[in-house]
Amino acid sequence: MRLNFYLLSTAVGGFTALASPSLAQTLRVASATVIVQEGTSSASVTVSLQNGNAAATTVEAVLVPALSTATAGTDFTYAAAQTLTFPAGSSASQTLTIPLADDAAAEATEYFTLRLQNSSNGTVASNASDVLVYIKDNDAQAPAQNRSLRLNFLGSYQNGTAGSNSAEIVAHDPSTQRLYVANSVGGKLDILSLANPAAITPVTSINLTSYGGINSVAVRNGVVACAVENVAPQSNGAVVFFDANGVFQKQVSVGAMPDMIAFSPDGRYLLTANEGEPSQDYSSDPEGSVSIIDFAGGLAGVTQASVSTLGFGSYNAQAASLRAAGIRLYGGTAASPSSVAQDLEPEYIAVSPDSRTAYVTLQENNAIAALDLQTKQFTSLRSLGYQDHRQAGFALDASDQAPDILLANWPIRGMRQPDALAAFQLPGSSATYLITANEGDAREYTALTEAVRLGSTGYVLDPTAFPNAALLKDTHVLGRLNVTNKLGDTDGDGDFDEIYAFGGRSFSVVDAASGTVVHDSGDLLERLTATDPTFGGIFNASNSTGAPVRKNRSDDKGPEPEGVTTAVLRDTVYAFVSLERMGGVAVFDLNDPAQPRLVQYVNNRSASSGSGDQGPEGIVFIPATNSPTGQPLVVLANEVSSTVSVYGVQLNGRVLANRPRGQQPEPLYIYPNPAQGGRVRLSRPVTGTLCNALGRPVRHLQRAAEIELAGLPAGLYLLRTDTGATSKLIVR
């Protein structure tokens, strides 16, 4: 061990005194962030000096406009740089006091930044020179809920033990009043009776592990179709058909990893979104695709020849132009990048009300594709665009470690990355709109992991674009936020000129014809859950089992809207959006697609324990005509808790058991049409009368899904249902 001794220039008591070398005089802010409530008279910033010596030390505290959303002179007073003076020999702290204003505007949390500079007889610590002062608004109110529609919780069914079972997707069959649940964790198709929505009972469970892994389920007129991925996930998957009791009927092959399955409204087509995810090392990377099964002849007519699987190979030569248009293409490895067809990963499908066009979300790619079901051709591939979180109405709570909810605007762009979507038309209009649940998702494989913490050393912010990079990387600012490392290096120099976060924390309304986003809900869902009198205490909690932890998803994708469905009640289109993390359903009036109105938020999750419904994913609306009670229902499949919950629908406090005057009946389709002998199928079970051209009844139907044609002469017939729907039938 080497010992160093230092001699003083004077002797004391006959001895030469020993001392340590002089230490540097260091100035630093006490904390990188300060949180203060608007309405407080001032904010206090503490600056400390360490190792003061015989001379006085000074330092300036200046305002940094580059990282401020609050306005000097309006929100706070800070006219010019202020100088702090530490007397000779001082090693104490001084407090900088900044007067605050109290305006009447409802706004996001604002902030301003101060920096220590121009010190004398001292050095400003490089990692403690800046302080960001949050001003929490005191005027913001909880978003108004007009409650024109009310969801009333009826009950929740425990679908096996959570953890070893799940309830991911749910489908309803009105012909049997059964629910069919995709239990992916348990590897089963669970069949439940909905005869009493307040007390669901089990019917049976079908083990599907011999077929592969179940991802989704759809049902129509007693035919149950399951989307099943191969035991070797990168190989082609299957659609496995069962009858209403779960008895196997047949199966056909579809593309790799079918993640979602749906019937078209007229029942003619059955479609699967085949995600085609790669293996962990990208040694196998199947193409994403959509499979179309011709179902016009019913299940009896389905063979492998009925399946058309459509990929995106025609876009392979357009990678550069697609990227320029905002579509994310980044899969594969440096040595073997994915083609466009491999990179596009279909997630979810919605079919237009006329059953002519399918709209397909490509979640990781932040895009939507349109597919003509008659020509079996993709007709468009469009980016869903990016949010600008600097704009009013697009604030976010970005840290799971900041002690308070801080919905603020930041220099971040949000990748909407929708999961589910639904197609709808306004009453009396033929224009089609889409509503997307902007959940967000990251690719995380051994060969490609794009999610990184903004504060990580490997994520370098461009010093010109972000001169306050060190402060942004603080864990109480943006340091904990998960961002992508595959987008944002605009000049290719290895650092990031733009920041892109996963998911929009919102829903969007899109004009289906043009692909234009006509509305994005922005920060509404976070404002809604933050101010909820019951669930604000678990704001942005995860859906994991155990006691909920407030804000532990703020650094990820917030509430993660995942499921969405729509319904027409009276003359209003309503949307029901499920929130995967916080739980529950938010309801919106969509009659003005550019300005949806919040109707209600409900949640059946415990705010103090790991009980109740957690992780809602699949959501279905059951109209009054298809409901076992005659009341419209909303059914949620809650993946984490493995529960199926049911809500009754009321309008203006009244139960809707029958169709009110002026409401358009659900469309009714007959196929094949024209028909010749045998039977025709109906797009849904109905009660009504089939009349000939003279108006004379020839058949009376009671919740029938088919019409027997034997004995009917050739001619024109009209089917009238008890709900007011009509459909023409030609018999040859």
List strand residue ranges (DSSP E) for 384-425, in order. 386-388, 413-415, 421-425
Handedness of CA 553, 557, 558, 564 (dihedral sign): negative
* Closest listed residue to residue 378, CA positions, set 451, 318, 456: 318
Mean pLDDT within 197-224:
97
Average pLDDT over residues 350-362: 97
Q: Give the torsion through C-alpha atoms of 325, 326, 329, 334, to 10 deg.
A: 90
Say if CB 198 and CB 230 are below 8 A apart: no
The C-alpha angle with vertex 207 and arms to 202 and 212, in degrees rounded to 5, equals: 140
Q: Which CATH class is domain 20-136?
A: mainly beta
Nearest to 65, CA basis, from 393, 470, 467: 467
Return all residues near 140 (Cβ < 8 A) that are at least 6 apart: 106, 107, 108, 527, 531
- For residue range 179-189, what is the model confidence (pLDDT) as tens digits? 999 999 999 99
Mean pLDDT of 674-702: 83
What's the fold here for domain 149-441+503-652?
Methylamine Dehydrogenase; Chain H (2.130.10)
Q: What share of the chain is helix, strand, coil (3-state, %, to 5)?
A: 5, 45, 50
Cα–Cα distance for residue pair 270/263, rounded to 1 Å: 4
DSSP 470-519: HHHTSTTTTTT-EEESSS--TTSSSSBSS-EEE--SEEEEEETTT--EEE
| pLDDT tens string 230-276 | 999 999 999 999 999 999 999 999 999 999 999 999 999 999 999 99
- Residue 75 predicted with pLDDT over 60: yes
State residue 658's pLDDT score. 47
**Mean pLDDT, residues 101-107 taken together:** 94
**Percent of the residues in the chain that have a pLDDT greater than 90, as a whole number:** 83
Which residue in 103, 102, 104, 106 sits closest to 140, CA to CA?
106
Please choose, from the candidates 250, 238, 192, 191, the residue with its C-alpha nearest in 3D space to the C-alpha of residue 213. 238
Per-residue model confidence (pLDDT) at position 656: 59
**pLDDT at residue 418 above 70?**
yes
The torsion angles phi and psi of 300, rounded to 5 degrees, stand at -60, -30
Given the structure tokens 């009110």, which residue do they identify? 660
pLDDT tops 50 at residue 16:
no
User: What is the SS3 assignment for 660?
Assistant: coil
Q: What is the dihedral of CA 206, 300, 263, 247, to 10 degrees?
A: -10
Cα(214)–Cα(230) distance, rounded to whole angstroms? 9
Q: What is the mean pLDDT of the chain?
A: 93
Preceding amide of 674 cis, omega within 30: yes
% of residues, the chain, pLDDT over 70: 95
Specify whether the backbone of 508 is left (phi greater than 0), alpha (psi in -120 to 50) or beta.
Answer: beta
CA distances from 221 to 270, 627, 685, 705 (A): 13, 14, 7, 6
Check residue 525 and report its DSSP letter: H
pLDDT tens-digit series, residues 389-409:
999 999 999 999 999 999 999
The pLDDT of residue 3 is above 50: no
Judged on CB neighbours under 10 Å (0-12, 13-18, 19+), 124 is buried
Which secondary-structure segment (H or E) carries 342?
A: helix 340-343
All residues at 6 or more sequence positions from 295 whose CB lies less than 8 Å from its CB, including other chains: 263, 267, 268, 269, 270, 301, 302, 306
| Token code pair at residue 258 | 């079918």
> What own/partner pairs with CB < 8 Å and gap ≥ 24 does 536-542 have?
537/607, 538/582, 538/605, 538/607, 539/397, 539/405, 539/582, 540/397, 540/400, 540/581, 540/582, 541/581, 541/582, 542/581
Instruction: Tell me the mean pLDDT in the region 440-458.
Output: 98
In the chain, where are the structural domains located? 20-136, 149-441+503-652, 670-731
Res 653: pLDDT: 65
> DSSP string covering 28-82, please?
EES-SEEEEEBTBSEEEEEEEEES--SS-EEEEEEE-GGG--S-BTTTB---S-E
Among 160, 210, 199, 152, residue whose Cα is nearest residue 177 = 199
Q: Residue 726: its pLDDT value, please? A: 84
Q: How far is CA 706 from the centre of its chain?
A: 38
Q: Residue 602: which of 657, 650, 659, 553 has the closest Cα? A: 650
AA identity, residue 692: N
pLDDT tens, residue by residue, 282-299: 999 999 999 999 999 999
The whole-number pLDDT of residue 724 equals 74
Q: Tell me how crowded residue 162 is: count the other CB atoms within 10 A of its CB.
A: 21
Separation CA 463–CA 466 (nearest Å): 5
- With H, G, I as helix, E, B as strand and everything else as coil, classify residue 529: helix
DSSP 611: -
Instruction: Give the confidence band of 702 by pLDDT, cuts at 50, 70, 90.
Output: confident
Q: How far apart are CA 679 and CA 658, in angstroms?
A: 29
HEC assignment per residue over 240-257? EEECCCCCEEEEEEEEEC
CATH topology agreement for domains 20-136 and 149-441+503-652: no
Confidence of residue 13 (pLDDT cuts 50, 70, 90): very low
| CA angle centred on 399, ends 398 and 405, rounded to 5° | 85
Ordered DSSP codes for 241-298? EE-TT--EEEEEEEEESEEEEEE-TTSSEEEEEE--PPPTTSS--PPPEEEEEE-TTT
Structural element, H or E, at residue 604: none
The predicted structure's pLDDT at residue 309: 98
Per-residue confidence (pLDDT) for residue 665, from 0 to 100: 65
The stretch 420-426 carries a mean pLDDT of: 97
Sign of CA dihedral 328, 347, 450, 471: positive
